[in-house]
């Protein structure tokens, strides 16, 4: 398998850590709101009960404020976009694809270093997220340079097996997983709404009857909707499925490439398909910020 530069590992770790931090904060905030909605029912008439209610509600406000100020989701998207940029540069270099192709008569190693440096400088905002990472690994691993010296047939076979097939399987798996998650969370939300509606109907039938409280169900259903919007299950399922189809088409170009020039063009087209989704996510986050 391809060994990536140290910058990829650092950005990948920063993205994964920020994603986990962001989702943990969201889950904790929703949990606190759900508990607060239950406490709002006034199950006990004691001072300590309402102290607990105030503490829980205040904690939810604190989590929301902390999340809004720190914006871990911004680091998540930016670091992921950086990691994918480094990954695609590495594959282009190893495959002798433009701008690292032999036909240009340039020092490919120098160009690779310069482009990594440009990518890093354009993401200086991530320096804080990188502070805990170990940059000791190579920025141009020897394995990458060895692969670059393969013959055209060897590079084509290596790319088909370790990049095309690997990425296509990943996108297909992720498309199915997101589609399944979208369905599961839809039915969870629907069940919460249905239960709340049933409780309301019972009061219509008998207004004086003691009905079940609907407030916690409403908060729970709202949290489920918020979670599905954050995770974007349906949007990602469609995007990943489309990318998997694009990869299938570029696989034909890779297989049919018989010259260094045609192989370079095919690799670049494939890498554009791989990086497009991450670039779009980074752009959405930039617009949202």
Residue 216 and residue 180 in contact, taking contact as beta carbons nearer than 8 Å: no
- 99, burial (CB in 10 Å: exposed 0-12, middle 13-18, buried 19+): middle
What residue ranges do the domains of the chain occupy? 6-288
- Residues 6+ away with beta carbon under 8 Å from 179: 233, 234, 237
Asked if residue 92 has pLDDT above 70, the reply is: yes
pLDDT of residue 134: 63
pLDDT of residue 109: 87
Asked if residue 103 has pLDDT above 70, the reply is: no
Kindly report the three-state secondary structure assignment for every residue of 220-269: HHHHHHHHHHHHCHHHHHHHHHHHHHHHHHHHHHHHHCCCHHHHHHHHHH
**Tens-digit pLDDT profile for residues 223-254:** 998 898 888 888 888 888 888 888 888 899 99
pLDDT of residue 289: 45
Which of the given ranges, 136-140, 208-212, 278-282, has the highest pLDDT on average? Answer: 136-140
Residue-by-residue DSSP string for 136-148: -S-SS-HHHHHHH
Which of the given ranges, 134-138, 180-184, 277-281, has the highest pLDDT on average? Answer: 180-184
The average confidence (pLDDT) of the chain is 86
Q: Percent of the chain at pLDDT above 70?
A: 90
pLDDT of residue 162: 94
Distance between CA atoms of residues 263 and 254, nearest Å: 6
Whole-angstrom CA distances from 151 to 158, 259, 266, 279 are 10, 11, 16, 32
**Tens-digit pLDDT profile for residues 33-46:** 999 998 888 888 89
């Amino acid at each position: 398998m391809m060994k990536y530069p140290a910058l990829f590992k650092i950005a990948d770790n920063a993205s994964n850590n920020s994603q986990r931090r962001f989702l943990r904060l969201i889950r904790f905030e929703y949990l606190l709101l759900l508990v607060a909605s239950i406490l709002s029912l006034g199950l006990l008439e004691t001072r300590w009960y309402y102290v607990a209610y105030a503490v829980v509600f205040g904690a939810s406000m604190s989590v929301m404020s902390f999340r809004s100020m720190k914006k871990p989701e911004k680091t998540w998207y930016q670091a992921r976009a950086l990691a994918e940029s480094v990954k695609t540069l590495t594959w282009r270099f190893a495959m002798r694809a433009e701008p690292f192709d032999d036909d240009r008569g340039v020092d490919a190693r120098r160009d690779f270093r310069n482009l990594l440096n440009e990518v890093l400088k354009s993401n200086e905002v991530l320096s804080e997220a990188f502070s805990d990472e170990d940059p000791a690994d190579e920025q141009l691993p020897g394995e990458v340079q060895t692969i670059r010296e393969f013959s055209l047939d060897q590079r084509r076979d290596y790319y088909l097996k370790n990049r095309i097939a690997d990425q296509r399987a990943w996108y297909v798996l992720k498309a199915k997983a997101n589609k399944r998650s979208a369905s599961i969370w839809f039915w969870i939300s629907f069940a919460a709404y249905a239960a709340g509606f049933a409780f309301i109907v019972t009061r219509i039938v008998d207004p004086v009857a003691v009905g079940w409280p609907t407030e916690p169900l409403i908060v729970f259903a709202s949290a489920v909707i918020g979670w599905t919007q954050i995770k974007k299950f349906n949007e990602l399922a469609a995007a990943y499925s489309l990318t998997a189809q694009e990869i299938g088409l570029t696989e034909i170009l890779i297989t049919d490439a018989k010259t260094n020039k045609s192989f370079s063009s095919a690799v670049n087209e494939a890498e554009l398909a791989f990086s497009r989704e991450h670039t779009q996510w980074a752009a959405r986050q930039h617009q949202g910020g």
